[in-house]
Amino acid sequence: MLGRTLREVSAALKQGQITPTELCQKCLSLIKKTKFLNAYITVSEEVALKQAEESEKRYKKGRSLGDLDGIPIAVKDNFSTSGIETTCASNMLKGYVPPFNATVVQKLLDQGAVLMGKTNLDEFAMGSGSTDGAFGPVKNPWSYSKQYREKRKQKPHGENEDSDWLITGGSSGGSAAAVAAFTCFAALGSDTGGSTRNPAAHCGVVGFKPSYGLVSRHGLIPLVNSMDVPGILTRRVDDAAIVLGMLAGHDPKDSTTIQDPVKPFTLSTLTDVSKLCIGIPKEYLAPELSGEVRSFWSKAANLFESEGAKVIEVSLPHTSYSIVCYHVLCTSEVASNMARFDGLEYGHRCDITVSTEAMYAATRREGFNDVVRGRILAGNFFLLKENYENYFIKAQKVRRLIANDFVKVFNSGVDVLLTPTTLRGAAPYLEFIKEDNRTRSAQDDIFTQAVNMAGLPAVSVPVALSNQGLPIGLQFIGRAFCDQQLLKIAKWFEKQVQFPVTQLQELMDDGSSISEIDKLASVSLKH
């Protein structure tokens, strides 16, 4: 049952094949068994069981709230959850319990979704590995998959097998791992430069970043307000569309959301792609791109072409400036957004009471990790009066050029862009941490980050397994607010590629029983 897609399990709930409480308990028990993945910072067991119970009552009365009623979900720990600790994986917010729900969380709960817990991330979502949080790194479930383990056996490896585990990517690594490990059917991530799509690609799940302004940011603890978007992680494109239908629309609490109402929708199935024009941006053919990813990318292009779609090479000439421009804008907004963490109203406060200034300084030194402090420092430098024109204003201008690149391409008749999501498959942790956070982020975000500059919708869809047995994702980028069309194309593509389900039988190291997951996974394969 856990291996099913959201749509399937929703049908099972409606048909009474399983009750919300049973489903919730199964997920809770799997969360416990997969605790070593470190996907969750907080497991809200009591709340979840209570919500499941209420959902069950509704089903019994025949008053289900809809497709999400009784569905276990997880939420990245940078979304405010009323009464549930929200830490951003930072010492600064350890123990902080928001008194309100983020709009997206509230909308999911209003639909009857069951909140399993809050997922792990890089501190304040600053990172691309989910390795730089106060609660430790997230481990990629694929590290323990049959597919990956079998490939590993062919090679000699170190004595300590567990040290070979892979990173999830980030910063929404906890959400990606939670979905990939079947502990929930959908999870919320956030996406500022690729933080939803990157871990989705590494964990073999669907990672969707909606258009900026389509989904409310109220309650999402910001990284870069002008680029942040709540992201959706699911195992199928269809499931992402269901969740999007529940979340999209104007929020009076977020002035940057669209004014027009958005109606819930069902994603129709695309049968004919011959009228589509797929753009392949030539600048995305980066030298660092692994051969394998490159070959999946061209195979995907060929697939569209063979089905009659027009596939053309396009140019996004300012792509190479994106990362450095993002660095200026991101750190500047970070410097500003982090100013509120001073230990006065909430969060961590140091013991120093000599003066208010000394208290601020010590609180912030103790509360933030090096990555956050480094970005605050850089951002404040860029915002100084003497630097503002040279850095911030310039970066904003470049941002406009980058956004215009996309506009031009879409105006030329391209429906979606097809690109890689990441350079390669997930890296082993020990390899990943050799580079510092900034270098890694700069490398890992290159395909995903320009999209945030332009506010466009994008989705990473798992394509196939690499030679190492690791998932590879490809990204589709759509026109602003054409999120449904984008998902429709992604859904068609997903159907063609038939990405394999994770086989997690080795996940249970006690080997005491035949893995339930194994059974479930094989069951779900039939679907």
Is 492 one of the binding residues for other proteins (CB under 8 A)?
no
- In the complex, minimum distance from the CB of residue 112 to other proteins, in angstroms, rounded to a whole number: 23
Residue choice 344, 377, 430, 514 for contact with other proteins (CB under 8 A):
344
Residue choice 137, 219, 249, 473 for contact with other proteins (CB under 8 A):
219
Q: Could you tell me how many helices (H) and strands (E) the chain has, helices first? A: 19, 11
Is 479 one of the binding residues for other proteins (CB under 8 A)?
no
- In the complex, minimum distance from the CB of residue 446 to other proteins, in angstroms, rounded to a whole number: 23
Footprint on residues 257-286 left by other proteins (CB under 8 A): 259
- In the complex, minimum distance from the CB of residue 174 to other proteins, in angstroms, rounded to a whole number: 18
**Hey, what are 339's tokens?**
């100013």
Is 345 one of the binding residues for other proteins (CB under 8 A)?
yes
- In the complex, minimum distance from the CB of residue 102 to other proteins, in angstroms, rounded to a whole number: 6
Q: Report which residue type is found at 144.
A: Y
Distance CA 487, CA 184 (A): 21
Residue choice 12, 346, 394, 438 for contact with other proteins (CB under 8 A):
346
Tell me the HSE value of 402 on the side-chain side, using a 13 A CA sphere.
26
- For residue 294, count other CB atoms closer than 10 A to its CB: 15
- In the complex, minimum distance from the CB of residue 390 to other proteins, in angstroms, rounded to a whole number: 14
Burial 455-467 (b: 16+ CB within 10 A, else e): bbbbbbbbbbbbe
E strands, 36-101, in order? 40-43, 72-76
Is 306 one of the binding residues for other proteins (CB under 8 A)?
no
Q: Report which residue type is found at 263.
A: K
Question: Which CA distances in Å does 472 have to 33, 61, 197, 409, 423?
Answer: 26, 44, 11, 26, 9
**Hey, what are 408's tokens?**
């031009």
Residues forming the active site: 76, 171, 195
Residue choice 306, 356, 496, 522 for contact with other proteins (CB under 8 A):
356
Burial 403-438 (b: 16+ CB within 10 A, else e): bebbeebbeeebbbbbbbbbbbbbbbbeebbeeebb
Q: What is the CA radius of gyration of the chain?
A: 22
| Paired residues of 310 in beta bridges | 277
Is 392 one of the binding residues for other proteins (CB under 8 A)?
yes
Smaller CB distance to other proteins: residue 90 or 485? 90
Query: What percent of the residues of the chain are helix, what percent strand, and what percent coil, each to the nearest 5?
Result: 45, 15, 40
Smaller CB distance to other proteins: residue 298 or 380? 380
Residue choice 156, 158, 252, 287 for contact with other proteins (CB under 8 A):
252
Smaller CB distance to other proteins: residue 7 or 217? 217
Distance CA 304, CA 301 (A): 5
Footprint on residues 50-109 left by other proteins (CB under 8 A): 79-80, 88, 93, 98-100, 102
Smaller CB distance to other proteins: residue 21 or 216? 216
Smaller CB distance to other proteins: residue 228 or 444? 228
Q: How far is CA 176 from the centre of its chain?
A: 6
Smaller CB distance to other proteins: residue 220 or 517? 220
Question: Which CA distances in Å does 292 have to 169, 257, 295, 336?
Answer: 18, 39, 5, 40
Smaller CB distance to other proteins: residue 220 or 248? 220
- In the complex, minimum distance from the CB of residue 250 to other proteins, in angstroms, rounded to a whole number: 11
Question: Which CA distances in Å does 185 have to 14, 46, 82, 188, 282?
Answer: 16, 19, 21, 11, 35
> Which range, of 28-36, 203-211, 214-222, 284-292, touches other proteins by CB under 8 A?
214-222
β-strands 310-314, 277-281: how paired? parallel
Is 406 one of the binding residues for other proteins (CB under 8 A)?
no
- In the complex, minimum distance from the CB of residue 225 to other proteins, in angstroms, rounded to a whole number: 4
E strands, 370-426, in order? 416-420
Smaller CB distance to other proteins: residue 225 or 266? 225
- In the complex, minimum distance from the CB of residue 186 to other proteins, in angstroms, rounded to a whole number: 21
Kindly report the length of the chain: 527
Q: How far is CA 428 from the centre of its chain?
A: 19
Is 221 one of the binding residues for other proteins (CB under 8 A)?
yes
> Which range, of 52-60, 275-283, 339-347, 449-457, touches other proteins by CB under 8 A?
339-347
Cis preceding-peptide flag for 171 (omega within 30 of 0) = yes
Distance CA 213, CA 329 (A): 18
- In the complex, minimum distance from the CB of residue 398 to other proteins, in angstroms, rounded to a whole number: 15
Footprint on residues 362-391 left by other proteins (CB under 8 A): 380, 383-385, 388
Residue choice 357, 389, 467, 526 for contact with other proteins (CB under 8 A):
357
Is 400 one of the binding residues for other proteins (CB under 8 A)?
no
- In the complex, minimum distance from the CB of residue 25 to other proteins, in angstroms, rounded to a whole number: 31
Is 193 one of the binding residues for other proteins (CB under 8 A)?
no
Is 122 one of the binding residues for other proteins (CB under 8 A)?
no
- For residue 503, count other CB atoms closer than 10 A to its CB: 22
Smaller CB distance to other proteins: residue 32 or 365? 365
CB 105 within 8 A of CB 243: no
Smaller CB distance to other proteins: residue 344 or 525? 344
> Which range, of 215-223, 280-288, 455-463, 513-521, touches other proteins by CB under 8 A?
215-223
**Hey, what are 201's tokens?**
């690609």
Contacting residues toward other proteins, per CB under 8 A: 79-80, 88, 93, 98-100, 102, 217-222, 224-226, 252-256, 259, 332-333, 335-336, 338-342, 344-346, 356-357, 360, 380, 383-385, 388, 392
